[in-house]
Chains A and B, each alone.
Chain A
Amino acid sequence: MIDNKEEKLLEPGFIAPQVVPQPAMPTVRELILEVKNLTVSFGEEKVVDNLSFSLKKGENVAIMGPNGAGKTVLLKALLGILPYRGEIKWSESAKISYVPQKILPEKNLPLSVEEFFKMKKAGREQAKEALTSVGITDERFLKKMIGTISSGQLQRVLVAWGLIGNPNVLLFDEPTAGIDIGGEETIFNLLNKIEKERNLSIILVTHDMSVVYGFADSVLCLNKKLICHGPPAEALGSEGLKKLYGEGVTFYKHEH
């Protein structure tokens, strides 16, 4: 969880705490994130250039774009671990957690899974609960060295680690789509399940179109600048894709 030092977005309820219950209106979902004119530079080069968008609570967002488009950089700026110009406002209720792209612990790193969870102040029971959420129920797993578990298990562990502290926003950097995380499950089945169980917003970077269509409520296409933003079917018309990846890219939409 990062300390959110940004100016907080006031929820409507805070402005006039004593308001009488509103008559039934078309529910406008509360914004959880508002980004204005966000620019991240490495030296002279603008890696993210003047980005503005906002996200509603509970919305699942896919960030996509070609390599070097600034996707991971955007994620890190949102986490507050990279310096940026512009505004990033998380709502007061946002509890953010982060699942990194991948980590490569050395094989003989003297660190057990249980100790890895302890680093986030999670006790044995909490660790067990989070691991159960990602489909790991064997208790002996906690004693394993983190460098010796398979990459699929490691991916699960990282997701579980992200779930510690009950976040309501999960920032997820490019889970490898094809990764075999064991069983019949893919990482996206898993995310779908977690999202439903825990009612959280997932913001993820991905290259995988089936994920974008199957999982995301909206897509944010990025190539340093914001190219498109909206529900996948609208934002990723063939025009949008051409703009994002250049000519010659077509994609067959899966009908689920």
Chain B
Amino acid sequence: MNTSYYISLITAIFIGGAAGYVGSLMATKKMSLVGDVLSHIALPGIGLGLLYGINISLGALASLILGIMLIWILSLKTELSMESLVGVVFVLSLAVGFLITPEEELLHALFGNISAVALSDAVAAVFISIVVFIAARMIYSKMMLAYVSEDLALASGVKINKYNLIYLFLIAAVVAFGIKVGGTLLTSAMIIVPAAVARNVSRNMRQYSLLSVIVGVASAVAGFAVFPFLTARYGLSVVSIGPVIILASIAFFAVSLLFKKR
């Protein structure tokens, strides 16, 4: 096991925790698919980054922010739901992303490539994860209130539109900096699955948000623990870390079903 393994592990732990936390707000917003789809809006940026030798996280971030702004403006101008607008921007991004991303790099963009993670990437990811965590914590209770009742939230002075936008940017940040390790699929899974696990077993908001973080981190650790055995068996070129972490999180999900509260 080499240095890039550990650098990637640390990155994945922080991204997993932050993604699990912001994802716990997503699962309550009937928007879990938005999170999934949102991560793929990064693809055109990754493609451009690869083509022109720019850091792909920055490319991804730029493309996510553009995509979010587009969704945002459309949602204010049309009566369409956030879900369907995200869907439109998603297929657009996917099409453009696939057209411009070099074929051999496409798999890395989707599934990640731990040998490509540099120390600076890890430092950036850790930093961003902490910022995202703190920001999400600040808006958590207000977002939850808006989920319980938009009218109640508005009447209490919560600017729902503003918080939704902040929230989308937080997701964009997690996705952009998690991409190098596990690709876009990993980050979308880390947004959805830990929250689903936590929701199965938690009885209150505190347990729920805490457990989402724990499952996010634990999935990353479990994935990296199994990974060396798989690469030893099948080779590094065959196995990507992204899917392994996702499978680990799904294992947690299966266990949570057994303990599902009534």
A→B interface (CB under 8 Å): 1-3, 76, 79, 81, 97-98, 100, 103, 105, 108-112, 114-116, 118-120, 143, 145-146, 161
Contact = CB atoms under 8 A, between A and B. Distances in A.
Given A98-B152, A110-B205, A143-B203, 10 more contacts: A97-B155, A98-B155, A108-B200, A109-B28, A110-B198, A110-B204, A111-B204, A114-B204, A118-B141, A145-B204
B interface residue count range (under 10 / 10 to 19 / 20 to 34 / 35 or more): 20 to 34
Nearest to A110: B208
A1 B198 contact: no
A116 B154 CA distance: 15
B256 interface: no
B152 A103 contact: yes
Q: Which of B141, B155, B199, B203 has the most CB of A within 10 A?
A: B155
B144 A111 contact: yes
Contact of A76 (B141, B145, B151, B157): B151
B202 interface: yes
B207 interface: yes
A192 B141 CA distance: 32
Contacts of B152: 98, 100, 103, 161
Contacts, number: 64
Nearest to B140: A119
A81 B205 CA distance: 27
A116 B142 CA distance: 11
Contacts of B205: 110-112, 115
A226 B208 CA distance: 48
Contacts of A1: 156-157
Interface in B124-170: 141-142, 144-145, 148-149, 151-152, 154-157
B233 interface: no
B157 A3 contact: yes
Given A108-B199, A110-B204, A81 B154 contact: yes
B203 A112 contact: yes
Contacts of A111: 144, 148, 204-205
Contact of A110 (B145, B151, B203): B203
15 contacts: A1-B156, A1-B157, A2-B156, A3-B157, A81-B151, A98-B151, A103-B149, A109-B148, A110-B204, A111-B204, A111-B205, A119-B148, A120-B156, A145-B204, A161-B152
